[in-house]
Structure 1
Amino acid sequence: MGGSHSREDLDFTDSDDDDSASRASDASSDFSTPPPASASRAARLPTPASIDAIDTHLRNLHLKYSDPISPNPSPTPNPAAAAAALNAVKLYLHIGGSTPAARWVISDRLVAASFIRSGDPSSDDDDEPAGPWCLVVGSKIRARVGPELQLKTFPAQRRVDFVADGVWALKFLHPDGYGDFNAKYHSCLFENSYGVAATDEGRAKVFGKDFAAWARPEFGDESIWEDATDAFSPGPKGGGSSPMPARSPMLRPLMEDFREFEEPVEEDGGGIQSLALGALDNSFLVGDAGIHVVKNFEHGIHGKGVSVKISGGGTNFTTPKKALLMRAETNMLLMSPATDGKPHAKGVHQLDIETGRVVSQWKFGKDGADINMRDITNDSKGAQMDASESTFLGLDDNRLCRWDMRDRHGIVQNLANSMESPVLEWTQGHQFTRGTNFQCFASTGDGSIVVGSLDGKIRLYSKSSMRMAKTAFPGLGLPITHVDVTYDGKWILGTTDSYLILICTIFIDKDGKEKTGFGGRMGNRIAAPRLLKLSPLHSHLAGDNSKFREGRFSWVTENGKQERHLVTTVGKYSVVWNFLQVKNSHHECYQNQEGLKSCYCYKVIPKDESIVASRFMHEKYDTSDCPEAPLVVATPMKVTSFSVSSQR
């Protein structure tokens, strides 16, 4: 356990040994770390000393040039030389992963970086139809411009890092080259994401006038993002910058004070498939063979040696993909897909936890017809602790509704005498005629609902109406795969495959009153969101095809209390952000950034296998010694609890 930090913050030097660079370019086995500036210069080969020399060298490599932008370093400049200088870079490759031997090595000492559209006349692929913009670096890199590059900038070093079958870094030789590259990158990214050019007209078409701050964050109102400091993880005073924000001292106390408690899972359980955290005495690990009951403690969860073997109900039960606690956590609703490979289910199994029996198989139905549901969740953040709870929320691609386990007269249905599966009562909701493509949802403390969609939109519905969204935030180019919301409804966390999106729903209405987007239309008083990302190196080390999954706030169910952390799972990593730090508009991560601001200050908890779930326990399990409730990380064969000590 512990922080998984690399030498990502290595400050490249321009005094690299040409001999070693030449060898690195020819054979990866000969890669070596560039020597310091004080190294002997006797063995160095001559390096290009002028723009013209650089241009000659690049042309000998048969590289392509972008349109010239007039530089000023050469006393006798020519347009071709200027263009060559502008996109001339050193190409570095990171080797060694997270081991102590990890380092950057020179892959190409002098090469050109450019953006080419597939099928472009300037491309070598003359017969290829027009396609997305690609980043091309010499002959070694050709990658589609998109969030999957995980591109990160270091303005002070005129450097960008990214992932493309490895972790690479570009060091720009010309002062204007770095800015020119970033401008072109953002334009290509916008066009690849939305299919329109990155012009004022294109941005207006995508975001509309109400979301102008999303299209041009530099002109947006930042006042809504509070300047926050955390009691046990103090923020910086002032706006200093750092080449490696993730190594910031702000998170070092948090990293050092994590305490770990690990427990293996019984092998006959078939491995953990999902985690159902309880706010009361117990939590539950759902596996292929049943449900393993664990006890909640202030230091985390610990096995009780009790396993509930699912039985009864006359059903061929399959491993559920969703487990929902209800009725003071004495009952659990288990939802399994009706078809392999698809998340939709025709109903739910109601499990009595104390007896371990499925007491009913509920069917989803409306107007006499069976329907499917994609997801279910509790009516509100704390509803699972309510012993009288009989309703829950349901979501399908084009449906949002509330189900009731009582009949239409409010009477609990007699399950014992039922010869057929009882049908849940559709008590509230709406079936949309147009393709909303809902994917996920969550509820606030008062029962308001946030819904994420395939097109990336996030919609806010009040607790009184599911017909029309009060607010609809535009997509950023990727589907929303999971969504969470704070208890007070003021903050939303959307999960995409490549990053998390943090949105503030607060606005001031025309009467000067503070409201959220659940209770009124925000109009054009909408602040730009924050993006929470991994560094290119951590994105690569998290594992093949690793995606962000189930970003969540820490768990609060009481008015006046604020969530303190955010957590998500990426492959073999559990990643934690300090919530107050992310909201701090003066945070060092945000200095000198272009476009939507991204936070890279996080804590990585690596595991040996892919993580099933990462979640904070209920707020009642934080103590004076631990300012946050324990974090629970479940893998198929282990469950680990982490607590944070406030004592240094």
Structure 2
Amino acid sequence: GAKQSVELPPEPAAATSSEAAPPRPTNGGTLFKHQDGKWGVLTSAVIPELTDDNEGREDDQPKWILDVGDVTFPVSEKCNLVSNAASRRIDFLAPNGVYAIRFFSQPGYEAFMAEYKDALFEAVYGMRASDANKVKQFGQMGAWANGVDPAGAVWDLTDEPPPGADDAMKDFNQEEQHATEEGEDVMDMKMGAMDNSFLIRGNAVDVFRNREGGALSDAKQRVKLMDNANSYITPTKGLLANQESSMLLLSPNQGRREKIYQMDLESERVVSEWGCKLNDVDIPMLDMCGDNKRSQMTDDKTFLGLDSNRLIRWDRRMAEGVAQVLASPTLGRVEGKDYARGTNFSCMATTGDGCIAVGSMDGKIRLYSDKSMNQAKTSFPGLGSPITSIDVTYDGKWILATTATCLVLLHTCVRAKNQELTTGFRTKAGSTIAAPRLLKLKPEDAARAKGAPLLKGKFTWVTEDGKQERWIVASCGNYSILFNFRRVKAATAPDAKLLEFTEYNHVQKDSQIAESTFVHERFTGNDTHLVIATTKGDVFCAGR
């Protein structure tokens, strides 16, 4: 069965001593170590020091080292450093353990963080943290990238009250476990809003029935995926279509990504294959998604495709793309643009009204309106790490980008020139948009997960106007990490001065998690039900 969420350790307690307190340097603090599930004082007064081991050498490649008492390690994103200005505290992961420093003074904390951010910039980008180099990386959004909200930045104008304590600590214990028959590793779990949901594993799909109340039942049905030459298809992406009666399959890692296959889920056959071509040149697709958040529930005949330099809308009905049973027509290209080499697109997601958010390997995020794909309305600079997946709320007001070490949460809302509320999908919004909020693991949990990356962050699944997403989930090794979205928004509002958020629930499994996702609200009402699929093929869901 599923395990309960693990209790997280409390805040480090302040050091106590019956003796007179030692002098407290303004640039120092108390060093704590996390052991056996709790914090203890390691050194009552330390001064953290940053030094560049390569300073003055010919290659001038920065190599920053952080010294804190007896703890010494190189500065990198692997430190999982989490900062909290309100408590003058940093937590970090070192090779020999998890530590925290509570600074004695606010100026001491702020001086260290400014120095650390420059050292991290140099470690990530391999260049000095000069103003010119920061402009090279961030353009005119250097303050934004540094976590500074512009004056008058819009922040969450929904009328929702913040969550109560009971809501924040919801129990995501799953009461039902389905052990599917043995097969290849699970790649993906596709949730349906109608009758079925689907587990994609190797060259087969296992079918689950959606039940009222949010539970799933194993249909004991496995559909083998074969093309018209009776060769197995091993997809790494699946996209439900045609009111969830079909699934489009993409195989980007198997040497066949110039083709997309359509499988009819009722007849259990691959009924169409399309070549993705432009001017007789194969266009290998890296990702695909529906035109909008509701597409799989409709009869939409178009969908979006992405490769590292192109964003394209394909149409299965066009003359060269007529679906012929077990034939290989070429998908028609409705609109799209080839972008200059080097965009390095990696993933995309769509809003309820068809606007598109695209993530890149260099960390950049571009927002396109539903009216044109020729130029991004708004572009956000990368923060150093590749974006491996991206999601957006139904109303387009929030974007969640997954990197290995954090989830980047962006609020897209701005005031237009006429002061009406709009989003960065509709108007150019770079300089007026709120700074990114970073949802991070506590370093002790990053250590427990053995440095596994965060993967596939997503919001709860909303498909109608006026509904608000409630939770965010991502997978990390054997863990599902769950953030209460309303609590995140309330706690990181501009006046709270908290840009890094580390309050979450987590659920642990015995094997690696392939997908953490949510049941469609149609089956759960206002409740939120988590579904976890492990790579071994076990599926966990809330029972009723």
Question: How does the TM-score come out when normalised to structure 1?
Answer: 0.76
Q: How many positions carry a matched residue from both structures? A: 539
- Going by fraction, where is helix more abundant, 1 or 2? 1
For 1:316, which of 231, 238, 248 is the aligned residue?
231
What CA deviation, in whole Å up to 9, does each residue of 1:606-637 have, x standing for no partner? Answer: 212111111112221222xxx23421111123
Stretches of structure 1 that go unaligned for 5 or more consecutive residues are 16-36, 42-46, 52-72, 74-84, 97-101, 235-249
Kindly provide the amino acid, as one letter, of the partner of residue 380 in structure 2.
F
Look up the match of 2:262.
350
Q: Which residue of 1 aligns with 2:325?
A: 415
CA deviation string 1:161-183 (max 9, x = no partner): 21122543244685464443223
Amino acid at match of 1:618: H
1:378 lines up with 2:283 in the alignment: no
The corresponding residue for 1:402 is 313
Once the two structures are TM-superposed, the CA of residue 367 in structure 1 deviates from its matched residue by: 0.6
**CA–CA distance in 2 between the matches of 1:143 and 1:4?**
30
Q: What residue number does 1:261 align with?
A: 175
1:614 corresponds in structure 2 to 516
Match 1:191 to one of 97, 110, 122? 122
Alpha-carbon separation, structure 2, partners of 1:629 and 1:413: 38
1:291 aligns with 2:200: no
SS in 2 for 1:191: helix
- Is the partner of 1:537 in helix, strand or coil? helix
Q: Which residue pairs with 1:359 in the alignment? A: 271
Q: Are residue 639 (structure 1) and residue 532 (structure 2) matched?
A: no
The change in CA–CA distance for 1:516 and 1:253 in structure 2 (over 3 A counts) is closer
Higher mean alpha-carbon deviation, 156-165 vs 442-451, is at 156-165
The one-letter code matched in structure 1 to 2:348 is F
Shift of the 473–350 alpha-carbon distance from structure 1 to 2, 3 Å rule, reads: same
The separation in 1 between residues aligned to 2:528 and 2:150, in whole angstroms, is 38
Judge conservation of contact 1:346–1:370 (CA < 8 Å) in 2. Answer: yes
Return the alpha-carbon distance in structure 2 between the equivalents of residues 223 and 433 of structure 1.
Answer: 32
Using the alignment, how far apart are the partners of 2:125 and 2:6 within structure 1?
35
Does the CA contact (< 8 Å) of 1:494 and 1:501 recur in 2? Answer: yes
Q: What corresponds to 2:80 in structure 1?
A: 150
Matches of 1:138 and 1:507 in 2, distance apart? 45
Distance 1:186 1:440, change over 3 A: same
In the TM superposition, what are the counterparts of 1:14-413 in structure 2 within 5 Å? Answer: 14-15=16-17, 85=25, 91-96=31-36, 102-105=37-40, 113-120=48-55, 130-144=61-75, 146-153=76-83, 159-171=89-101, 175=105, 177-195=108-126, 197-198=128-129, 203-209=134-140, 212-215=143-146, 217=148, 220-226=151-157, 229-230=160-161, 233-234=163-164, 250=165, 252-288=166-202, 290-297=204-211, 298-339=213-254, 345-386=257-298, 388-408=299-319, 412-413=322-323
Q: What is the aligned partner in structure 2 of residue 82 from structure 1?
A: none
Shift of 1:394: 0.4
1:477 is matched with 384
Shift of 1:223: 3.9
Aligned to 2:356: 449
Compare 498-507 and 306-315 and name the one that shifted more.
306-315
Equivalent residue, structure 1, for 2:15: 13
Q: Report if the CA contact (8 A) 2:5-2:171 is conserved.
A: no
- The 1:316–1:148 alpha-carbon spacing in structure 2 relative to 1, beyond 3 Å, is same
Instruction: Please tell me whether the aligned partners of residues 311 and 356 of structure 1 are also in contact (alpha carbons under 8 angstroms).
Output: no
- Residue 403 of structure 2: aligned partner: 496
- Asked if 2 retains the 8 angstrom alpha-carbon contact of 1:400 and 1:466, the reply is yes
2:203/2:235 contact within 8 Å kept: no
Stretch moving more, 516-525 or 472-481: 516-525
Q: What is the deviation of 1:210?
A: 5.8
Residue 630 (structure 1) aligns with: 529
Alpha-carbon deviation of 1:441? 0.4
Offset, 1:513: 2.3
Residues 582 and 106 from structure 1, CA distance in 2 versus in 1: closer, same or farther, beyond 3 angstroms? closer
Residues 579 and 592 of structure 1, relative CA distance in 2, 3 Å threshold: closer
Identity of aligned residues (%): 36
Q: Compute the displacement of 1:108 (Å).
A: 5.7
Deviation at 1:113, TM superposition (A): 2.7
Structure with more contact order per residue of length (Cα contacts < 8 Å, sep ≥ 6):
2
Give the conservation status (yes or no) of the 8 Å contact 1:88–1:112.
yes
State whether residues 147 and 436 of structure 2, in contact with CA within 8 Å, keep that contact through their aligned partners in structure 1.
no
User: Is contact 2:31-2:45 (8 Å) kept?
Assistant: yes
Distance in 1, matches of 2:538 and 2:370, equals 38
In the alignment, structure 2 segments of 5+ residues that lack a partner are none
Question: 1:468 Cα deviation (Å)?
Answer: 0.9
Change (3 A) 1:607 1:128: farther
Structure with greater proportional strand content = 2
Is the 1:118–1:132 Cα contact (8 Å) retained in structure 2? yes
SS state of the match for residue 260, structure 1? coil
Give CA-to-partner distance per residue, 1:189-209, whole Å, 9 cap, x none. Answer: 233344555565555454344
Output the CA distance in 1 between the equivalents of 2:218 and 2:534. Answer: 15
Query: What is the root-mean-square deviation of aligned Cα atoms in Å?
Result: 3.0
In the alignment, the residues of structure 1 paired with residue 218 and residue 147 of structure 2 have an alpha-carbon distance, to the nearest angstrom, of: 51
Distance 1:286 1:172 in 2: 47
Separation (CA, whole Å) in 2 of partners of 1:253 and 1:415: 50
The CA distance in 2 between the partners of 1:141 and 1:254, in whole Å, is: 37
**Structure 1 stretch displaced more, 297-306 or 278-287:** 297-306
Q: Quickly say closer, same or farther: Cα 1:620–1:166, change in 2 above 3 A.
A: farther
**Partner Cα separation in structure 2 for residue 304 and residue 224 of structure 1:** 44
Distance 1:427 1:264, change over 3 A: same
Max radius of gyration: which structure?
Answer: 1
Q: Is the 8 A contact 1:222 1:585 kept in 2?
A: no
> 2:33–2:42: 8 Å Cα contact kept in structure 1?
yes
Cα separation, 2, equivalents of 1:506 and 1:13:
43
Question: TM-score, with normalisation over the residues of structure 2?
Answer: 0.89
Distance 1:448 1:306 in 2: 36
Q: How far did 1:213 drift?
A: 3.9
1:173 to 1:286, Cα distance in 2 relative to 1, 3 A: closer
SS in 1 for 2:121: helix
